[in-house]
């Protein structure tokens, strides 16, 4: 399930009259935790975050306690359990990295996940569970999840990387246009996780986000190469740095925004990805007529898919351009079906 589908699924699950627990699996760095946080925010729900990997069974059971006026012991909720018991509005209790937890800690959540009660304490109906874990093959310290724990989840879904979803997020979060363009050109490098005992990183949405931060440091060339290799692995970093050299030789984005009719239209797919992504990131509403004209020239040069990519990116940034004469012109022409596509 790609992240846009997962967000839709979680939103519906969180707002169901009788919500049930969901378990999300996937390789490290895909954005499982971010997806849960986004879905909770979209549902208007509070978020309780637990890390069972570093928890004790008493965290989900409470501590034995004898009240001063009683001769019997009871279990007193504390921490995240107490917060869940006090909840009065829609609340998502997120068990992150559940697969790294010991069997005893996993078992301590079984009553809560199924019966929604533990040691005489009942969870409010407004609280729902979601958990996330890496897979056993990811060498992430996951030994597995107990069978009776797994069966308590209404569904176990695996998150996969998707370049369209990631590009949409990246363009909305100021990830450099050259990095977005590169991964559109080489989408297989968005997530190329290789479990290893070596102290190296693999390409993933998380590590590419780290690479974007490294680019913002404006490091000297040699240092930048080493830092990027440390972020996404030497192979991916080498390819990206070669792409950057090509990126700097592209037609000037400023020139396109000044005179779209005379600006160069690249022939190579890598250069087209780069120009379209960079142009969409720079264009303002006032410049949209020239962006639309450049899209038409891409269409005329047999690059209709790139023209549509350019227009869709601008729409995501500036929805108001859809109400301009320039948009009306291209939306009624040959690009109409491409612009409205996925």
Tell me the CATH number for domain 3-158.
3.40.50.300
Q: Is residue 333 over pLDDT 80?
A: no
Q: Which two tokens stand for residue 50?
A: 């637990």
pLDDT greater at residue 162 or residue 19: 162
Q: Which two tokens stand for residue 8?
A: 């839709």
pLDDT greater at residue 338 or residue 136: 136
Alpha-carbon distance of 248 to 264, in angstroms, equals 14
Question: For residue 340, what pLDDT band results from cuts at 50, 70 and 90?
Answer: low
Q: Is residue 238 over pLDDT 90?
A: yes
Mean pLDDT, rounded, for 11-32 = 91
Q: Is residue 267 over pLDDT 50?
A: yes
Question: For residue 21, what pLDDT band results from cuts at 50, 70 and 90?
Answer: very high
pLDDT, position 338: 63
Q: Is residue 342 over pLDDT 60?
A: no
pLDDT, position 62: 82
Mean pLDDT, rounded, for 154-166 = 94
Mean pLDDT, rounded, for 78-84 = 91
Question: For residue 36, what pLDDT band results from cuts at 50, 70 and 90?
Answer: very high
| Most confident listed range (54-63, 84-93, 139-148) | 84-93
* Domain boundary assignment for the chain: 3-158, 163-339
pTM score of the predicted model: 0.80
Average model confidence (pLDDT) across the chain: 90
pLDDT, position 131: 96
Q: Nearest-5° angle of CA 330, CA 334, CA 335?
A: 60
Return the HEC string of the chain. CEHHHHHHHHHHHHCCCCCCCEEEECCCCCCHHHHHHHHHHHCCCEEEEECHHHCCHHHHCCEEEECCCCCCEEEECCHHHHHHHHCCCCEEEEECCHHHCCHHHHHHCHHHHHCCEECCEECCCCEEEEEEECCHHHCCCCCCCCHHHHCCCCEEEECECCHHHHHHHHHHCCCCHHHHHHHHHCHHHCCCCCCCCCCCCCCCHHHHHHHHHHHHCCCCHHHHHHHHHHHHCHHHHHHHHHHHHHHCCCCCHHHHHHCCCCCCCCCCHHHHHHHHHHHHHHCCHHHHHHHHHHHHHHHHCCCHHHHHHHHHHHHHHCHHHHHCHHHHHHHCCCCHHHHCCC
Question: For residue 252, what pLDDT band results from cuts at 50, 70 and 90?
Answer: confident
> For 93-130, how does the pLDDT look when each residue is reduced to its tens digit (9 = 90+)?
999 999 999 999 999 999 899 888 888 888 999 999 99
Mean pLDDT, rounded, for 244-265 = 85
Q: Is residue 67 over pLDDT 80?
A: no
Alpha carbon of 285 to those of 95, 102, 165, 289, 306: distances in Å? 43, 54, 23, 8, 20
pLDDT, position 200: 86
pLDDT, position 199: 82
Mean pLDDT, rounded, for 179-208 = 90
The answer to whether residues 81 and 60 touch, using CB atoms and an 8 Å cutoff, is yes
């Amino acid at each position: 399930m790609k992240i846009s589908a997962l967000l839709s699924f979680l939103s519906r699950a969180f707002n169901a009259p009788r919500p049930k627990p969901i378990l999300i699996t996937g390789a490290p760095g895909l954005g499982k935790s971010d997806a849960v946080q986004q879905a909770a925010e979209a549902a208007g729900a509070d978020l309780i975050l637990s890390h069972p990997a570093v928890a004790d069974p008493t965290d989900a059971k409470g501590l034995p306690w004898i009240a001063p006026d009683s001769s019997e012991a009871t279990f007193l909720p504390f921490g995240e359990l107490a917060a869940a018991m006090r909840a009065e509005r829609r609340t998502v209790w997120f068990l992150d990295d559940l697969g790294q937890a010991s069997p005893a800690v996993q078992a301590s959540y079984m009553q809560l996940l199924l019966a929604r009660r533990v040691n005489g304490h009942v969870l409010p109906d407004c609280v729902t569970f979601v958990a996330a874990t890496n897979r056993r093959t990811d060498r992430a310290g996951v030994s597995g999840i107990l069978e009776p724990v797994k069966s308590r989840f209404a569904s176990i879904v695996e998150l996969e990387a998707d370049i369209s979803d990631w590009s949409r997020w990246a363009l909305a979060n100021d990830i450099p246009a050259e990095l977005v363009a590169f991964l559109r050109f080489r989408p297989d490098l968005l997530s190329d996780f290789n479990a290893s005992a070596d102290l190296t990183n693999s390409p993933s949405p998380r590590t590419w986000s780290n690479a974007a931060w490294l680019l913002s440091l404006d490091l000297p060339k040699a240092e930048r190469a080493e830092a990027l290799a440390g972020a996404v692995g030497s192979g991916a970093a080498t390819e990206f740095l070669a792409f950057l050299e090509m990126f700097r030789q592209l037609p000037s984005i400023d020139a396109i925004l000044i005179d779209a009719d005379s600006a160069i239209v690249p022939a190579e797919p890598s250069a087209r990805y780069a120009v379209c992504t960079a142009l969409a990131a720079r264009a303002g509403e006032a410049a949209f007529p020239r962006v639309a004209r450049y899209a038409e020239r891409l269409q005329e040069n047999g690059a209709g898919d790139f023209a549509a990519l350019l227009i869709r990116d601008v729409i995501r940034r500036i929805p108001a351009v859809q109400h301009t004469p320039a948009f009306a012109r291209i939306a009624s022409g040959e690009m109409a079906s491409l612009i409205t596509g996925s």
